């Protein structure tokens, strides 16, 4: 139920990346019909092992598990209050964050949701939902870790 987007105007010698922008189609997250994005951050990270020589100085670095760590915060929204509440329930139940149509392509793709999805209800403000997720740089690794849980 997205409304017509209103784009900002920029005047000057350079343009800045402003706001959370899409690629011309509204941003979508599978399982969440409607929402209003508040913030979205990606931190590219990896594991690192320092191998030291006899003097205790690092002479080699082994880097593994390259991935993007993500924190997304949004407000559940809907055509009516019941629909908005349903978005909050659906957010808690999500296994993966399947995201499309960000202009910054790194934000698109299938992210594994990490522990700690938070739904915040407030007496005098809109609810907000924060989800922590990660996407591995190696596509095979990411596919394996975002697949259907093993049964049996």
Partner 1 sequence: MIMADTPTTSAPAPEAKKSTEELVKTFLALKTHAEKCAFFAKNKELAQIFRSELFTAEPTK
For partner 1, the binding residues in 106-135 under the rule CB under 8 A are: 108-110
Q: Is 34 in the site for partner 1 (CB under 8 A)?
A: yes
Nearest approach, Cβ of residue 97 and partner 1 (Å): 9
Nearer to partner 1, 7 or 60 (CB): 7
92-18-77 Cα angle (round to 5): 30
Binding-site size, partner 1 (CB under 8 A): 45
Virtual torsion, Cα 98, 117, 140, 152, nearest 10 deg: -110
- C-beta atoms surrounding 76 within 10 Å: 23
- C-beta atoms surrounding 68 within 10 Å: 19
CA count, 13 A, side-chain hemisphere, 3? 7
Q: According to CB under 8 A, which one of 22, 71, 73, 132 is a site residue for partner 1?
A: 22
**Pair of tokens at residue 111:** 């992210």
Closest CA to 89 of 144, 51, 33, 138: 33
Nearest approach, Cβ of residue 75 and partner 1 (Å): 9
Nearer to partner 1, 34 or 128 (CB): 34
Is residue 134 within 8 A of residue 111, CB to CB? The reply is: yes
Count of residues making up the chain: 152
Pattern 61-100, binding to partner 1, x per CB under 8 A?
----------------x--------x---x-xxxxx-x-x
Q: According to CB under 8 A, which one of 1, 39, 58, 137 is a site residue for partner 1?
A: 1
- Binding-site ranges for partner 1 (CB under 8 A): 1-3, 5, 7-8, 18-28, 30-31, 33-37, 77, 86, 90, 92-96, 98, 100-103, 105, 108-110, 146-149
């Amino acid at each position: 139920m997205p409304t017509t987007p209103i784009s900002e105007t920029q005047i000057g010698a350079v343009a800045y990346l402003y706001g959370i922008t899409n690629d011309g189609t509204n941003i979508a997250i599978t399982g969440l019909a409607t929402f209003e994005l508040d913030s979205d951050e990606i931190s590219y990270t990896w594991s690192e092992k320092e191998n030291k020589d006899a003097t205790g100085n690092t002479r080699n670095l082994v880097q593994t598990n390259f991935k993007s760590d993500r924190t997304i915060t949004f407000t559940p929204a809907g055509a009516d209050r019941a629909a908005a509440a349903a978005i909050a329930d659906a957010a808690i139940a999500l296994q993966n964050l399947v995201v499309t149509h960000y202009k910054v392509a790194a934000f698109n793709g299938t992210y594994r949701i990490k522990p700690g999805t938070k739904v915040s209800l407030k007496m005098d403000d809109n609810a907000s939902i924060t989800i922590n997720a990660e996407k591995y740089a190696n596509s095979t690794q990411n596919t394996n870790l975002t697949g259907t849980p093993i049964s049996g």
